[in-house]
């Protein structure tokens, strides 16, 4: 088994091989090819259509930064919407906030949820059984056309704009997403690695700037999303929220009583300090 490997195929002209020590699942679901296997460095990891989604070793960075930055910036998030997020890691982090009363998670592929529960149990860590969880199996692009609630924070934890994820990067989706938000609500998006996928980020932020008073991105470095820091799209009609004071974040993080391994208020603030090659891209 040691000579088996899975290749990261997201980028034309660049591949990476992950050694596979054990395969837990490798088959096509109704929506995508799903593989869960064990790598000696990153632990159990999932690929969808040949693209690395999440690993036991570094998932905490991505999930902490895409969940706690908007929730702590908002300050009073009671209803949260996750689009995608099938592995359950985002749901786990959102529900660590006792202020959250409802978290709706809209995942297109039930197999991702079922297999993640089985082979990546530490990702959801029981979050799917939390009474605040409202799990919907649907296309996120369809759900936002007629949502049952409006939300304070919306997190697009999707795949890249290929296959089922493609619709989640289009202007109609963003326009409908905006209508899912309460006044002063915040939308954040998984937006790829800007050094490797500059057009993906530019496309999203350009759409968001047309729809919201304030749109930009923030950065976090996740080892298995290769090519430098990953961008997380940011949009809200309350432009002050992107520049929230450190002492306010400190107080909110302290009262949230959440133990993290990457997120911290100072890291939150620093994440919005964009290097030129990114700020030039988002304008
Ligand atoms: N952390 C990963 C990343 O940054 O690429 C995302 C992980 S999560 C597994 C991505 C999820 O988005 C998958 O479970 C996939 O099935 C789901 N997804 C893709 N397109 C979707 C759509 N149109 N509606 C809802 N969920 C979708």
Residue 63's contacts (CB-CB under 8 Å, 6 or more residues apart) are: 89, 90, 92, 93
Predicted pLDDT at 252:
98
139 lines ligand 1 (CB under 6 A): yes
- Return d(Cα 122, Cα 117) in angstroms, integer: 8
Q: How far is the CA of 161 from the centre of ligand 1 (A)?
A: 10
Q: Where in the chain is the domain with CATH 2.30.140.10?
A: 4-55
| 157 classed as catalytic | yes
- When pLDDT is cut at 50, 70 and 90, the band that residue 2 belongs to is low
Q: Where in the chain is the domain with CATH 3.40.50.150?
A: 59-282
Using the atom order of ligand 1, give the atom closest to the CA of residue 46: 9
Using an 8 Å Cβ cutoff, are 50 and 160 in contact? no
* pLDDT higher than threshold 60 for residue 1: no
Using the atom order of ligand 1, give the atom closest to the CA of residue 87: 9
Alpha carbon distances (Å) from 64 to 8, 25, 73, 166: 24, 26, 13, 24
The per-residue pLDDT for range 121-130, each reduced to its tens digit, is: 999 999 999 9
The CATH superfamily holding the domain 4-55 is Spermidine synthase, tetramerisation domain (2.30.140.10)
- Return d(Cα 257, Cα 223) in angstroms, integer: 27
58 lines ligand 1 (CB under 6 A): no
DSSP helix/strand/coil, 211: helix
- When pLDDT is cut at 50, 70 and 90, the band that residue 162 belongs to is confident
The region of weakest confidence among 54-63, 67-76, 156-165, 181-190 is 156-165
CATH number of 59-282: 3.40.50.150
- Return d(Cα 175, Cα 210) in angstroms, integer: 9
């Amino acid at each position: 088994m040691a000579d088996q490997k899975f290749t990261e195929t997201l980028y034309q002209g660049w591949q990476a091989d992950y050694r596979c020590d054990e395969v837990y699942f490798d088959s096509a679901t109704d929506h995508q090819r799903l593989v869960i296997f064990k790598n000696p460095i990153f632990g159990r990891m999932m690929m969808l259509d040949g693209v690395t989604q999440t690993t036991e070793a570094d998932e905490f960075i991505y999930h902490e930064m895409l969940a706690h930055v908007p929730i702590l910036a908002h300050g009073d998030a009671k209803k949260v919407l996750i689009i995608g997020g099938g592995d359950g890691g985002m749901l786990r982090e959102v529900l660590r906030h006792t202020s959250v009363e409802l978290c709706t998670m809209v995942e297109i592929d039930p197999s991702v949820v079922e297999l993640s529960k089985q082979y990546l149990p530490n990702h959801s860590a029981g979050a799917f059984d939390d009474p605040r969880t409202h799990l919907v199996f649907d296309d996120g692009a369809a759900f936002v056309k007629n949502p049952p609630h409006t939300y304070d924070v919306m997190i697009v934890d999707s795949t890249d704009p290929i296959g089922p994820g493609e619709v989640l990067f289009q202007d109609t989706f963003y326009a409908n997403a905006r209508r899912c938000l309460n006044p002063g609500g915040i939308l954040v998006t998984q937006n790829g690695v800007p050094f490797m996928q500059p057009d993906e980020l530019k496309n999203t932020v350009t759409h968001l700037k047309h729809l919201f008073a304030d749109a930009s991105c923030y950065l976090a470095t996740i080892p298995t999303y290769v090519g430098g820091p990953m961008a997380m799209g940011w949009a809200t009609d309350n432009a002050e929220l992107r520049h929230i004071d450190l002492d306010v974040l400190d107080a909110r993080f302290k009262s949230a009583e959440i133990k993290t391994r990457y997120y911290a208020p100072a890291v939150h603030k620093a994440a919005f300090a964009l290097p030129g090659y990114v700020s030039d891209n988002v304008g």
